[in-house]
Structure 1
């Protein structure tokens, strides 16, 4: 009798119908329509959503396709993968918003974010390169800086990027800011390109310590013989690094109510007018990628990779043509 009951149960199970899914083709069509009408319809909408103009965006996707860094799948193109990534870092969006915008699952959004982040990171050695050893065009022939700064190849400074860390780690990351940050050091040439980036240091770390680490690392920061970077007074004077004079006015007007009084003030004025380049580069970077302005839910190693990825994309835009990003 028990065997008969068991057989009846097995027959009932075997008659169950399989799970039915919605029409994937129609869903894909709606996603493509969303991309065409809401994102890359024109430059304005593309910049609003992705922080890149249309031509830059599609050339960027072509780069990944040609290098084999990303690949199209049955239901997702490289363009959509990159669009989700740029939409996230451009506006610091959470996973739930991106999955709603692109009609994807949270797992899919997270998986492709990491794929694109890795693909961008693969371009680091190509796009974050040491500066040219020639006299920069901004300096050459300009009597304000030439010949005094003709061997200067860039400027170095640090910036604080908001970080999200565990509670027990926050004291070491909370330095000059009221919140946790990572201290990011970068070298920038006079075309606003990042030529070296070192992220991951805690916000309480002094800039001089970060610079020393950059010099001691394997494949770290190198200063060619006879060349130098401009640095702030906190880094101190050493071969290859030129700070301003201490206890001397730094920011002043060359002409007007507060004219230069001596040669040290004049040097500091010239030094400041050149070193502001690195501040402009950081300003442009944070303005384009809002994810750098606020804490993110990603693990800390991913937060570090995101900073470097933003610098790589920034350089790519400059290398690919004159960037007219103004929003």
Structure 2
């Protein structure tokens, strides 16, 4: 009986093994029949994508990188010539700059960019930091006062000259969205919703930034930020029409003409944020990097204006800014009290001279 039971068990095991072998053979046959995924040459695909942008239409390049090919190649040249950025065995300077510009222009995440160019997220992040450091090294060369001479916009206008002959540009602050740890978010909550950093900038009448100070908390008053700019070793220094109704006194005339000059800074900020979407979106990197990105965007803006001042995206952005309604923020009582008496005296002097000439000649 025992021998019979043992034989039965062995027969059962043998049949199970035979069934298993048959199943394995069947699965192998099916595996051979499944089509394999096509081989993708990542290097070739990456090169084709970059070339399609840089050697396609100018408009396509501007849409992707926020500048024309001539400005792109010139940027690569000055970064390489100054040894601010070097090619590596893994990536050319062209690709490094391409990645950086696409990210800040469209607020693209590192992982999204990595899938587009077949690179790892870590690689994209690393070279983004490389180009960011390189661009910031161009700050002193590209963001500075061009001349202390009276700008043509003022010198060639009877409305502005000689009253504003010492004016070389406009200065103001703007808020850029910021992402900070919860324990310090209170300091970064200013006039706008959410957390922001307060960015002070001066801009010339040809829409080039001449000074930028970023990183202040959104709750900081503009006057505090300005005082900080004055006290820094390499800080900021100053070389000494709303309706159809005509102005009725010297104060109205001054305000009318002064505001038309001041809109320069508003247009500058508007164009900057239209071109670089990263400045108007929730940041996804550390706060020190957020501050550097603001400065880098201003540097690249000046680079574009220097190489291609009539760049289509700049023109489109300017038109959008000019057609939109600008909402001015009112000064707090504390800020208004901080206006210097010397400026008030200077303003009154200009008002009187301007009004005297206006009532005499009508200009």
Is TM > 0.5 for Structure 1 vs Structure 2?
A: yes
Indicate conservation of the 8 Å contact 2:53/2:60, yes or no: yes
Residue 40 and residue 143 in structure 1: after superposition, are their counterparts in 2 closer, same or farther (change >3 A)?
Answer: same
For residues 166-207 of structure 1, give each alpha carbon's deviation from its aligned partner in whole angstroms, at most 9, with x where no partner exists.
111111101101100000000111111111100000000000
Aligned partner of 1:240 in structure 2 is none
Equivalents in 2 of 1:209, 1:316: separation in Å?
29
Residue 270 and residue 33 in structure 1: after superposition, are their counterparts in 2 closer, same or farther (change >3 A)?
Answer: same
Aligned with residue 119 of structure 1, among 118, 127, 134 = 134
Give yes or no for the alignment of 1:267 onto 2:254.
yes
For residues 251-308 of structure 1, give each alpha carbon's deviation from its aligned partner in whole angstroms, at most 9, with x where no partner exists.
622xx2x331111100000000001111111111101000000121110000000000
* Aligned partner of residue 155 in structure 2, secondary structure: coil
Give yes or no for the alignment of 1:41 onto 2:49.
no
* Aligned partner of residue 185 in structure 1, secondary structure: strand
Equivalents in 2 of 1:306, 1:278: separation in Å?
19
Residue 252 and residue 297 in structure 1: after superposition, are their counterparts in 2 closer, same or farther (change >3 A)?
Answer: same
Aligned partner of 1:136 in structure 2 is 151
Equivalents in 2 of 1:208, 1:131: separation in Å?
25
Aligned with residue 162 of structure 1, among 170, 177, 184 = 177
Aligned partner of 1:319 in structure 2 is 306
Equivalents in 1 of 2:168, 2:292: separation in Å?
26
**Residue 39 (structure 1) shift:** 5.2
* Aligned partner of residue 179 in structure 2, secondary structure: coil
Aligned partner of 2:242 in structure 1 is 252
User: What TM-score, normalized by structure 2, do the two folds share?
Assistant: 0.73
> Greater helix share, 1 or 2?
2
- Residue pairs, 1:89-108, within 5 angstroms: 89-108=104-123
* Aligned partner of residue 153 in structure 1, secondary structure: coil
* Aligned partner of residue 147 in structure 1, secondary structure: coil
* Aligned partner of residue 308 in structure 1, secondary structure: helix
Q: CA RMSD in A?
A: 1.6
* Aligned partner of residue 157 in structure 1, secondary structure: strand
Equivalents in 1 of 2:236, 2:312: separation in Å?
29
**Which stretch of structure 1 is more off in the superposition, 267-276 or 47-56?**
47-56
Equivalents in 2 of 1:193, 1:260: separation in Å?
31
Aligned partner of 2:283 in structure 1 is 296
Equivalents in 1 of 2:65, 2:276: separation in Å?
9
For residues 23-57 of structure 1, give each alpha carbon's deviation from its aligned partner in whole angstroms, at most 9, with x where no partner exists.
xx943222111111255422122111111111111
Indicate conservation of the 8 Å contact 2:205/2:264, yes or no: yes
